[in-house]
Structure 1
Amino acid sequence: HFGRQNEVITIDLARVMEGEDLLASAVEPADRAISAGQAIAIATMAPQDEVERLQGKYGRDVVARTAEDFLTCLAQRMIFERGVRRLVIAGGETAGAIVPKLPITRFIVGPYQGLGTGRMVAEMPFPVALMLKSGKLGGLDVFSAVLDEMRRPVSVEPYLEQWPPKARTQ
């Protein structure tokens, strides 16, 4: 649904697994889309038989970690080198891999918007709007709708939280 009106860049995970550096090949089309004012999606999806082949060759955990590491490096590059300030991270494990590797000092949690989604503004050296979306939850238009909503200020009192959480003392 998102790809009907926006750029979707699919990363060939087999090439990443073979050690090929595909970061530049993902950043270049992303730059063109961003310059044109277009939203983009970057995915490491593959047909099930290809995923199974890679998992058989390298191991399930290695394939997952490689995809997460690639997307983490790409997110960091897009934020810190390309000035991206609105980011949707889809996949619970993917979000769990990317968010802890960002230099977030605190975050402001946004309003509840439905099962499997969470919005926040992460404070780093600058604010970045994030939406974390778990796997298969959310409507067909969830990406476009959330990116549009991220352009408007939140009208609900925010919940402030320090990141990373401080150890509790007793």
Structure 2
Amino acid sequence: MTLRIGCIADDFTGGTDVAAAFRRAGLRTALVFGTPDATTALPADCDAAVVALKSRSTPADEAVAESLAAQSWLWAEGATQIYFKYCSTFDSTPYGNIGPVTDALMDAAGSGLTLHCPASPPNGRTVYQGHLFVHDQLLSDSPLRHHPLNPMTDSSLPRLLSAQTPHRVAVIDWPTVRRGVDAVREALLAHERAGVRHVVADALTDDDLTVLGAAALEMPVVAGAAGLAEGVGHAYPTSGPAVAEPWPDQGRAAVLAGSCSARTLEQIAQFYAAGLPSLHLDVLAAATGRDVTAEALTWFDKQDPGQPVLIYASASPEELAAVQAQLGVAEAAAQVEDLLGALASHLVERGVRRLLVAGGETSGAVTTALGIRAVLVGEEADPGVPWTYATTRSGDLALMLKSGNFGAPDLFTRALTESR
């Protein structure tokens, strides 16, 4: 058993993102979907294992229970360090689930101190003076303030985290990080002596995250986005990159999009502008009982098999608000997940062998519908967006699970049309 680090991600695309980060650090990485059990098996000789849950927006007690179960399984598989991966935009409700889950994992591990950093510089996420930035905007000024489930209207990470935990929160500033690993370790010890439990670290570059990862190597529990995970991964001795399953030479290609993020909407617009077949799903019609799934499949069957297709329920903030006003937030989300999960099964049965899925909740619905429990992590098409490889009831599948805000505007067209 070579497993060094076990990771718990709070949604499926976040799991894909952090698995890609470990792979970039040279660790052979497996990704497991949902809470594992005694029948869940890892590929041989994994250095890192990521358990991807759907716990970001569930009630806090459920998120804690699922995360603790995943932690116990990872410990049983040999992991000596647990990394709790959350979104680089610190998506959370005002009362959880980042704080409650981190506290529970630390309690189980007997840990009195942890390090947090959601920075992901390649994706424009940085932390300075404890405030989270999205490119050149504070988080609270960015499009994430319109997030359909967890609108982010505050940029202060200590303030956000303090609302979710009874324990003290402090910051390690950027000048300290720039002084190197020893300076960060000294700052961590000083905070621990002062009774601090959660330390948020500034980071503006990947080099900063490498420093933080090395400083946190001995911590039983570390928390943050994929950038810090890669920094931790670089601190481990490596045994070579993961070997991906062969790229499928046959079969059709499709995109299923449920995310309403600004970047996903750009990617949809670019796909449409490229003249590729696109179909928008009528979520309100589906809620009234119309068989929107059958209509979409009829449309799919008429398309050129040589071209990738896009089927999406994504909508602008105004369109989304109108749907949620009629159905409610939870029911609107459930309709989208049910539609796209069902479509994924039918598309794979119809010969789709390259499937790109946009959105964390959508990705969870798709992998659940396809019965996929574990994948090997392959090469990235864009930072944080790798291809993964699985076997389904209908055959081998190359699967890309994309966080809503990730990927270049041309990702959909480029990933599904470029040769390998």
Range class of TM-score, shorter chain: 0.7 to 0.9
Partner of 1:95: 363
Unaligned residue ranges in structure 1 (runs of 5+): 153-170
Distance 1:39 1:113, change over 3 A: closer
Instruction: Tell whether the 8 Å contact from 1:106 to 1:124 is kept in structure 2 after alignment.
Output: no
Secondary structure of the equivalent of 1:131? Answer: strand
Contact in 2 for aligned 1:78/1:84 (Cα 8 Å): yes
What are the Cα deviations for residues 118-151 of structure 1, in whole angstroms up to 9, with x where unaligned?
Answer: 31111123101111111122111101111134x5
2:392 aligned residue: 124
Partner SS state of residue 357, structure 2: strand
Which amino acid counterpart does residue 76 of structure 1 have in structure 2? Answer: S
Instruction: Give the Å deviation of 1:113.
Output: 3.5
Are 1:64 and 2:315 matched, yes or no?
no
Q: How many residues align?
A: 149
**CA separation in 1, counterparts of 2:375 and 2:405?**
25
Deviations 1:18-54 (A, max 9, x none): 121111211122112243x111000113343332222
CA 1:118–1:92 in 2, change beyond 3 Å: closer, same or farther? Answer: farther
Counterparts of 2:373 and 2:399, CA distance in 1: 14
Q: Which amino acid aligns with 1:26?
A: A
**Larger-gyration structure (1/2):** 2
Q: Tell me the CA shift for residue 111 of structure 1.
A: 1.6
Match status 1:85 vs 2:389: no
TM (normalized to structure 2)? 0.34
Query: Which whole-Å CA distance do the structure 2 matches of 1:141 and 1:46 have between them?
Result: 18
Please name the residue that 1:109 is paired with: 377
Report the counterpart of residue 148 of structure 1 in structure 2: 417
- Normalised by the length of structure 1, the TM-score is 0.79
3-state SS, counterpart of residue 303 of structure 2 = helix
Aligned to 1:139, the other structure's residue is in SS state coil
Distance 2:288 2:327 in 1: 10
Q: Does 1:27 align with 2:297?
A: yes
Aligned CA-pair RMSD: 1.8
- List runs of 5+ in structure 2 lacking aligned partners: 1-269
Q: Which residue of structure 2 aligns with residue 41 of structure 1? A: 310
Question: Which one is further off, 116-125 or 97-106?
Answer: 97-106
> Is the 2:308–2:417 contact (alpha carbons within 8 Å) kept by the matching residues of 1?
no
Letter in 2 for 1:25: E
Paired position in structure 1 for 2:287 = 17
8 Å contact kept, 1:33–1:39: no
Which deviations, in whole Å up to 9, do the C-alpha atoms of 1:31-81 show, x marking residues without a partner? 12243x11100011334333222212221011001111100001101111x
Could you give the per-residue CA deviations for residues 74-132 of structure 1, whole angstroms, max 9, x where no partner exists? 1101111x111111001122112211221236422112343341311111231011111
